[in-house]
Amino acid sequence: MEISAVSVLMPVFNGAKYLHQSIESILNQTYENYEFIIINDGSCDGSLDIIRDYARHDRRIKVIDQQNIGYVDALKNGIGVARGEWIFRMDQDDVSYPERLEIQLEAIKRDPSIVLVGGWCRQISENDKAIKINKYAATAKKLIKQALKGGMFIPHSSACFSRAAYMRVGGYRARLYLAEDLDLWLRLSDVGTVYCCQDVLVDIKIHNQSASRMNRRRQSVSAMIAMMSYFLRKDGLQDVVNAGDNDWLIFKEWAENEMERKGVFQRNEVWCNLWCYWHSRSKGSKYKFIISLFKDLRSVMELISFGRYPAKKFALSTTVRL
């Protein structure tokens, strides 16, 4: 299978702090035949100057400078001008490994049915200290099963997808901001093969200024609705995300209230706080934490009761009320 053209797409909004590292990780790829579309979405921190400086020295970079319209619409604008048959995603604060593009393109060549291919990622701190490696299943069936149980799916910055398949399913949907990637991945799985390379391809920077960290509640609601929409489509029913404005607002409010009533946000907060505590402590203090936790049976039972709420069960129990 021949790859006719490749586009790397990166939206930027006030990303100057990490932008050099991110851009250079793409420019230093072992696979070199691509266009690099960088969308400056109304930055006011010097990001545009950084982008233009790189563009002056590398003809593969295409700069789109626009007023701030938001992350999802910036992505859609970038895809609108992209010439690539395959779209590689990249975020302004993440770092791609040198062989990332080459590895993913080889996977696509091996299987013409692929419409989406991702990879493992390593989480790193603001000062580039390794935190942990996130590993994902290789096949769509296992990936989707993991996601619908509240687990992780292919990370946005590791993804590469077919432009034709993207257009076929309707592209990104701004209504599901912060879960626009999960929503798109699930819809792409309806029309072709989804695959995850069993290699670490990207470093993802974890910091408190990231959109997902600052809007955890909204991300949870969007992710839940994306999964509910998946089940509606599987049952041949209307996708609620495509409803009229009034019906959409009513449904979104109802879904958020249901999640509140069932304790989903509380459970998510407990697990997030526990994760942050664990990965910010030394090995010795982790042992002390575990020992103190098991000394207090009440604390243990509370954490168990706040375990990951199975998204599939929630979605199935709520779709019948639409």
Name the more confident of 208 and 279: 208
User: Which residue, 151, 139, 8, is CA-closest to 75?
Assistant: 8
Residue 84 lies in a domain: yes
DSSP 3-state assignment of 226? Answer: helix
* Tokens coding 179: 């879960």
Quickly list DSSP for 80-136. HH---SEEEE--TT-EE-TTHHHHHHHHHHH-TTEEEEEEEEEEE-TT--EEEEE--
Binning pLDDT at 50, 70 and 90, where does residue 305 land?
very low
Cβ neighbours of 62 (radius 10 Å): 17
Please name the amino acid found at residue 137: A
Q: 261 with 120, same domain?
A: no
Q: 189 with 245, same domain?
A: no
Domain hosting 86: range is 6-209
Residue 226 lies in a domain: yes
Q: 113 with 132, same domain?
A: yes
Final residue of a structural domain among 209, 243, 261:
209
Q: 152 with 67, same domain?
A: yes
Query: Are 195 and 109 a contacting pair, CB within 8 Å?
Result: no
pLDDT for res 280? 59
Domain count along the chain: 2
Q: What is the pLDDT of residues 129-174, one digit of tens each?
A: 898 999 999 998 888 888 777 667 899 999 999 999 999 999 999 9
Q: 174 with 139, same domain?
A: yes
- Cα gap 209→223, rounded to integer Å: 20
Residue 214 lies in a domain: no
Q: pTM for the complete prediction?
A: 0.84
Final residue of a structural domain among 186, 209, 232:
209
Q: What is the pLDDT of residues 238-258, one digit of tens each?
A: 888 999 999 999 989 988 998
Q: 96 with 226, same domain?
A: no
User: Which residue, 200, 195, 194, 5, is CA-closest to 95?
Assistant: 200
- Cα gap 224→256, rounded to integer Å: 9
C-alpha dihedral sign at 76, 70, 127, 153: negative
Give the chain's radius of gyration (CA, Å).
Answer: 20
CATH number of the structural domain spanning residue 141: 3.90.550.10
Q: 91 with 135, same domain?
A: yes
User: Which residue, 185, 167, 171, is CA-closest to 242?
Assistant: 171
Q: 20 with 97, same domain?
A: yes
Pairing label, strands 114-124, 193-205: parallel
